[in-house]
Structure 1
Amino acid sequence: MKRFTFICIVLFSLNVYAEKAYQITYFENGNVATEGWVEKNKKTNYWKFYHSNGILKSEGHYENNDKTKYWYFYRKDGTLKSEGHFLENKKCNWWLFYDSEEKINHKCQLKNNQKDGYCLMYKNERLISAVQYSEGEKIKEWTNLRSFRKENSLRDLR
């Protein structure tokens, strides 16, 4: 019986230490501010953040307190502002940016929170230019698709 009790205490202790909890915080006005999973005092799994008016502000995954995977960001009126990938709390890969009517304004390749690759610029849902960046510095811009294709491989846009 003592051995069983000891095993139960050890298992319970391990479970308490590794326990996940769903955490919700509130604004002074009573609206939800944040909600998501915490494990060992660090954000993990899916989280949501809200504007003080109750509208969703952002949502995405955490791993060990770092933003990771795919995230969405919204304006105070609820329209989609941007979306893209995080790796170890830094923006990376392709990101989409929207105007106030939720039409794509531009999409860019990012690395370490800065433009690094191509940015495609749109107006009224039509591609108007392409810009190439390296570590945040603008290298070149094309204002027509023909000249862009002539100098670049479309595979670079993946």
Structure 2
Amino acid sequence: MYITQYHNNGALKAEGWLQDGLMVHYWKHYFVNSKLQQEGHYKEDKKEKYWYFYRPDGSKSMEGHYQEDQKNGWWLFYDKQGRIDHKCQLRNGIKNGYCLKYFNKKLTSAEKYKNGKKVNEWFDFRSFKRDNNLSDLK
């Protein structure tokens, strides 16, 4: 069954599908100001697949994959101008892998995390290749 929910001020709060009282399939959630807050898929009340998140002004803040209600895989994070600020590999909602940082669309540094703790950082591609055994890249 497709349902809609409303904020106290009458603005749309959420819309999507319920099955046996649980959120399933595609949902959209809205801020009190009626701007889209987040959208993506649910499976039995848990976030699944690809999700998009927005700021109250409507600009995109982040996007990425959920698995069993946890952020997993590569996630993209945006600055207020809509440019990618950084992208990180997450496992169960925690940085685990690489994070690449950008400024004005240019890659400025890379970091490596293990279970949420930074274990290394690079500011040039040569040292990144060397430390990550990527010497075969040209």
Corresponding position of 1:104: 84
Corresponding position of 2:57: 77
4+ residue stretches of structure 1 with deviation over 3 A? none
Encode CA deviations 1:26-54: one digit per residue, 9 max, x unaligned.
01221100000000010000000000000
- Distance in 2 separating the partners of 1:47 and 1:146: 44
Choose which of 84, 90, 110 in structure 2 pairs with 1:130.
Answer: 110
Corresponding position of 1:60: 40
Q: Secondary structure at the match of 2:129?
A: helix
> Offset at 1:153?
5.5
Corresponding position of 1:39: 19
Encode CA deviations 1:55-105: one digit per residue, 9 max, x unaligned.
000000000110000000000010000000000000000000000001000
Corresponding position of 1:147: 127
In the alignment, structure 1 segments of 5+ residues that lack a partner are: 1-20
Greater Rg, structure 1 or structure 2?
Answer: 1
Report percent identity of matched pairs: 49
Amino acid at match of 2:16: G
In the alignment, structure 2 segments of 5+ residues that lack a partner are: none
Q: Secondary structure at the match of 2:16?
A: strand
Amino acid at match of 2:40: G
Choose which of 98, 120, 128 in structure 2 pairs with 1:118.
Answer: 98
Please report the RMSD computed on the Cα atoms of aligned residues, expressed in angstroms: 0.9
Corresponding position of 1:48: 28
Q: Report which structure shows greater RCO (CA 8 Å, sep ≥6).
A: 2
Determine which structure has the larger helix proportion and give its number: 1
For these two proteins, the number of residue pairs brought into alignment is: 134
Q: Secondary structure at the match of 2:128?
A: helix
Corresponding position of 2:2: 22
